[in-house]
Each structure stands twice: as structure tokens, then as C-alpha cells.
């Protein structure tokens, strides 16, 4: 069985009119800055899963916390913001996610955040300020207005206390100055050319926000020479509604074996089903969260066979070369399949 955790809410902070931070009493929670928790939320007669990122860093903050912003028609955020209160026990699955600082030689960080995309970015900033090997942190932070800006005061204080290390550029859509309203390609290109001083191989980029926002970030970063494996993104909002399914499926059923925590689970999967959906149908205990190729919670290693991923927004080329795949968008192509699930 997947281990479920119970967290007790220590404090609730109203960040903006539509967002709150929930601080938990569980000091011993095992997590990294930039990761998320998947919460189990009651919804009618069923339970839904929603992932929310830490705004804290374990090296810096005594207590772990996540921040939740209300999403229009969002069942998860609506329930949490309307019901969670100090003293409540809430249920989740242990921390996961690949949107984290590596242990590699990182001299300089360039961070893109839009709206609630600042939540994991703030955690990364805290960790990076704590890391003496990182010399410069550049943050581009976009919002509708100053009043709608999550962590505005906290980030302003961090910048004031770390003037030599943290540089913040703010963008507010309601600004009359168009150059301060929206981030654009010309700004990013000029910034990389004139402000980012480290060897480009030692510069890492983290971006979190809507897909169109991160498309600009990724294209301009690649144009600036940032290695693909140095670009990291976390998608909170999917903007198009196109199907995640492939145009055609392999016919027939495929044998599949999943190895997890010393146990093996065997079952069959038809070509028109994802590995995750068939595993859930067969009560196979493998972790998952977003179910749309965005978060890496369901990542496994493919040891034998071949699959097709209809969507992948989180695994890097290096991950793919090592054999990692996402079960939530992975369809069988040839078998038998042997998969090794992380703990």
C-alpha cells in the first residue's frame, strides 16, 4: 500500500484575497525545496488528489508549509481554502517531485515565476540563499497586480537582506508602462547577455507558471545557450484541452510486471489504456498525482519492453536516456513490460 501521512495544521496565513499558506506541525517531514505534497480531498462520495508545492525549505524553515491559490471551479483549492483551519488533521502522500536544486556545480540561478508559480520558486530561493556556492539569483516574477502578488512582502525583505545575491524584477499586468507589465523575449535576451555573468554551463533555470509563459522562458533560455538539462519547469495550469491519447493504439493485451519495494505485481494491459489507469484498476500500489504528465510522481524505470508517452512535461533527456517513463501517459507498444517503481 502507498503510505499516507497525516499532517496537523499549525497556522493558516492569508497571503492574498484568494490564497493561503498552511503551516504544519510535522517538523520531521521528509522533503526538498521545490517538491510538493499530494493531498487526499473528499469530494462527494469519492476522494480527489491535488498536488500543492512547499513554500518552505527544510534547511531554512522550522516547519513545512504549502500555499494554495483558489482556482476557478477548482474542487481541490475551493475545499481547502473554505474548510482547512488551524488544528485540523489532513491526509496526504509523501513529498515527491523533480523540481529541485541538483547537487551539481550551480553558480547562478535564473528563476521565472507567474502567479502561484512563485510557491516552489520561493522555496528554491530560500535554499539557494542558504547555499554559499550559489553566487547570484535572478528572479522574474509576473502578476496581475501588486495586490494579487503572493509573498510580495517576504520577497521584498529577502531582496533587501541579500542585496548582493538576490535580484528581483517585478512585472504587473496592470502597469501603464508596457515594459513593466509583461515579460518579453527582448528583455530576457538582453538580461542574459548583460546580467548573467557565470559560465552558461553553471547557470540553472527554474520556471513555474502557465504553459505559454514557460514556452517563452524555455525558448529564450535555449537561445541564450542554457543546456537542456539545466532548464527545469513545473506546470500548474494546462491551457489547451487537446486529448492526451495517441492517434492510434497497439492492438491486443500486453503482459506487465511492476517491481516495487521488494514485491512484484503482474497483470495485463490493453493497448488503449495507460499503465497507470490499468494499475489503479488492478489495485497496484504505485504513486501518482496529476495523471497528466506534469509532476513525475508516477515516474518508473522501464527495464524491458517499449512504451509511448502521449505527454511529458517533466522528464529530461537525461531521465529518458536512463529509462525513466511516466505511467500516467504511458501506453504499451511492445512487451512484455517490466517496470521498476521508486519507493
Across the chain, mean pLDDT equals: 88
**Type and span of the H or E element at 47:** strand 46-53
Last residue of a domain, one of 96, 124, 142: 96
pLDDT, residue 251, reads 81
Specify whether 134 is located in the same domain as 193. yes
In a domain, 245, yes or no: no
CATH of the domain at 59: 2.40.30.10
pLDDT, residue 242, reads 44
Could you count the other beta carbons within 10 Å of the beta carbon of residue 313? 18
| Domain region containing 290 | 253-341
pLDDT, residue 2, reads 63
In a domain, 172, yes or no: yes
In a domain, 102, yes or no: no
Q: What are phi and psi of 258, to 5 degrees?
A: -115, 125
Specify whether 152 is located in the same domain as 129. yes
pLDDT, residue 236, reads 65
CATH of the domain at 183: 3.40.50.80
Could you count the other beta carbons within 10 Å of the beta carbon of residue 29? 18
CATH of the domain at 336: 3.10.20.30
| Dist CA 52 CA 77 (whole Å) | 9
Q: Which residues of the chain have pLDDT under 70?
A: 1-3, 103, 236-248, 343
pLDDT, residue 243, reads 47
Specify whether 208 is located in the same domain as 144. yes
pLDDT (tens digit per residue) in 303-325:
999 998 888 877 877 888 888 88
Specify whether 140 is located in the same domain as 225. yes
Last residue of a domain, one of 96, 127, 142: 96
How many H helices and E strands in the chain? 7, 16
pLDDT, residue 342, reads 72
pLDDT, residue 239, reads 43
Could you count the other beta carbons within 10 Å of the beta carbon of residue 134? 20
What is the number of domains present in the chain?
3
Of the candidates 165, 339, 140, the one whose C-alpha atom is nearest the C-alpha of residue 255 is 339
Last residue of a domain, one of 180, 209, 235: 235
Specify whether 280 is located in the same domain as 210. no
The pTM for the full model equals 0.79
Specify whether 185 is located in the same domain as 293. no
Amino acid at each position: 500500500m502507498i503510505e499516507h501521512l497525516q499532517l496537523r495544521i499549525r497556522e493558516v496565513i492569508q497571503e492574498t484575497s484568494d490564497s493561503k499558506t498552511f503551516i504544519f506541525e510535522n517538523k520531521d517531514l521528509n522533503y526538498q525545496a521545490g517538491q510538493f505534497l499530494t493531498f487526499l480531498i473528499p469530494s462527494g462520495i469519492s476522494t480527489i488528489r491535488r498536488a500543492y508545492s512547499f513554500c518552505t525549505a527544510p534547511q531554512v524553515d522550522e516547519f513545512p508549509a504549502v500555499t494554495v491559490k483558489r482556482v476557478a471551479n477548482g474542487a481541490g483549492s475551493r475545499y481547502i481554502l473554505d474548510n482547512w483551519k488551524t488544528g485540523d488533521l489532513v491526509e496526504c502522500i509523501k513529498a515527491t517531485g523533480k523540481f529541485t536544486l541538483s547537487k551539481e556545480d550551480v553558480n547562478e540561478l535564473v528563476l521565472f515565476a507567474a502567479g502561484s508559480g512563485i510557491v516552489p520558486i520561493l522555496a528554491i530561493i530560500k535554499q539557494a540563499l542558504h547555499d554559499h556556492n550559489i553566487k547570484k539569483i535572478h528572479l522574474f516574477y509576473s502578476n496581475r497586480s501588486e495586490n494579487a502578488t503572493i509573498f510580495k512582502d517576504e520577497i521584498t525583505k529577502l531582496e533587501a537582506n541579500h542585496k548582493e545575491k538576490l535580484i528581483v524584477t517585478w512585472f504587473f499586468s496592470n502597469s501603464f508602462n508596457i515594459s513593466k507589465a509583461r515579460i518579453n523575449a527582448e528583455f530576457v535576451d538582453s538580461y542574459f547577455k548583460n546580467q548573467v555573468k557565470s559560465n552558461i554551463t553553471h547557470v540553472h533555470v527554474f520556471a513555474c507558471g502557465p504553459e505559454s509563459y514557460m514556452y517563452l522562458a524555455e525558448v529564450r533560455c535555449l537561445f541564450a545557450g542554457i543546456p537542456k538539462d539545466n532548464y527545469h519547469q513545473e506546470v500548474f495550469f494546462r491551457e489547451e484541452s487537446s486529448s492526451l491519447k495517441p492517434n492510434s493504439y497497439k492492438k491486443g493485451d500486453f503482459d506487465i510486471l511492476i517491481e516495487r519495494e521488494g514485491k512484484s505485481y503482474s497483470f495485463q494491459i490493453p493497448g488503449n489504456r495507460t499503465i497507470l489507469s490499468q494499475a489503479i484498476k488492478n489495485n497496484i500500489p504505485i504513486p501518482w498525482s496529476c495523471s497528466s504528465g506534469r509532476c513525475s510522481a508516477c515516474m518508473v524505470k522501464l527495464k524491458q519492453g517499449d512504451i509511448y508517452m502521449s505527454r511529458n512535461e517533466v522528464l529530461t533527456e537525461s531521465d529518458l536516456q536512463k529509462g525513466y517513463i511516466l505511467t500516467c501517459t504511458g501506453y504499451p507498444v511492445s512487451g512484455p513490460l517490466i517496470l521498476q517503481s521508486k519507493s
